[in-house]
Amino acid sequence: MVKITTKAIIEQFNLELVSGEEGIDRPVTTSDISRPGLEMAGYFNYYPARRIQLIGLSEMSFFELLSVKERKERMLKLCTLTTPGFIISSNNKVPEELIEASEYSQVPVMRTPMKTTRFLSRLTNYLESKLALTTAIHGVLVDIYGVGVLITGKSGVGKSETALELVKRGHRLVTDDSVEIRQEDVNNLIGSSPELIEHLLEIRGLGIINVMTLFGAGAVRSNKKISLVIDLEVWDQNKDYDLLGLDESKIKIMDSEVTKITLPVQPGRNLAVIIEVAAMDFRLKKMGINSAEQFANRLAKAIMDEQKEVK
């Protein structure tokens, strides 16, 4: 799993570092955040020490009710060798017992002026994005009418040339050749471009072209949710290809399933137009309009009517 450090969180949210500066390079390995109210009450049977510890007004008000001995004891138990850090919300005063324990265990203590609930939401979203599962796939990602279409296929099948034609038709390129994918949630895959090849397109015989320079900033985007995968393959005469589109195929990428369409490639087929139509048809299906099912229902009705007339 990709790790970030407490220092990155400090810089991202402009937090005030109160104590424990020696531990700012501690890794953060989970997007879950703990509010240690039970631990302050003395219950440490299940203490998620590897999480960021967020202390709000409710935890602070309870902590003030404890005796001095209990405060020192609880804070020393909270500050472990694996704890990434403590964040005090709403600019509340940091207890001296926490500062002492953090300096002893080298656990960073930070403070933010934001309210607890708001900061919790923003920090969770940030951590989920940074700690999401990632992978890389050979292909081209294009935004077509708002649908993120991942074009895959063997090298030389025509992926980049098809992407170039799609860009000329007004669609937006995300990345060519290598697609970096992060899974922010189940069935929520976000594709982006490696920094080295961002906005670049490789056309055999022509070389590397910069899409943003040639077609403008409106022809590219930095990332896009992947909703549809179109696999290009050389036409095989011995293979039966889907003519109606009733059977929807899926491809699994990490823990997510994405709709997949296989398109045979042969001279004379305008792949850019076909992929463009596939994206529009995908949107219609999401809206509940399935042309293949409508045709199948009409065909079944026509057959039934004809059988009735024969009888």
Sorted by sequence, the CB contacts under 8 Å of residue 309 that are 6+ apart come out as none
Q: Is 185 among the catalytic positions?
A: no
Tell me the binding residues for ATP. 153-160
Q: Is 199 among the catalytic positions?
A: no
Tell me the binding residues. 153-160, 202
Of the listed 7, 77, 130, 177, which one is catalytic? 177
CA atoms within 13 A on the CB side of 43: 6
Q: Is 159 among the catalytic positions?
A: yes
Of the listed 159, 171, 199, 224, which one is catalytic? 159
Of the listed 138, 168, 286, 301, which one is catalytic? 138
Q: How far apart are CA 275 and CA 280, in angstroms?
A: 9
Tell me the binding residues for Mg(2+). 160, 202
Q: How far apart are CA 45 and CA 47, in angstroms?
A: 6
Phi, psi of 265 (to 5 degrees): -105, 130
Sorted by sequence, the CB contacts under 8 Å of residue 256 that are 6+ apart come out as 183, 186, 187, 188, 189
Q: What angle do CA 186, 191, 197 make, to 5 degrees?
A: 160
Q: How far apart are CA 259 and CA 252, in angstroms?
A: 9
Quote the strand ranges of the chain, DSSP E: 4-5, 16-19, 27-28, 33-34, 52-55, 86-88, 109-111, 133-138, 140-144, 147-153, 172-175, 178-185, 188-192, 200-203, 207-210, 223-225, 228-234, 249-253, 256-265
The amino acid at 201: L
Give the active site residues.
138, 159, 177
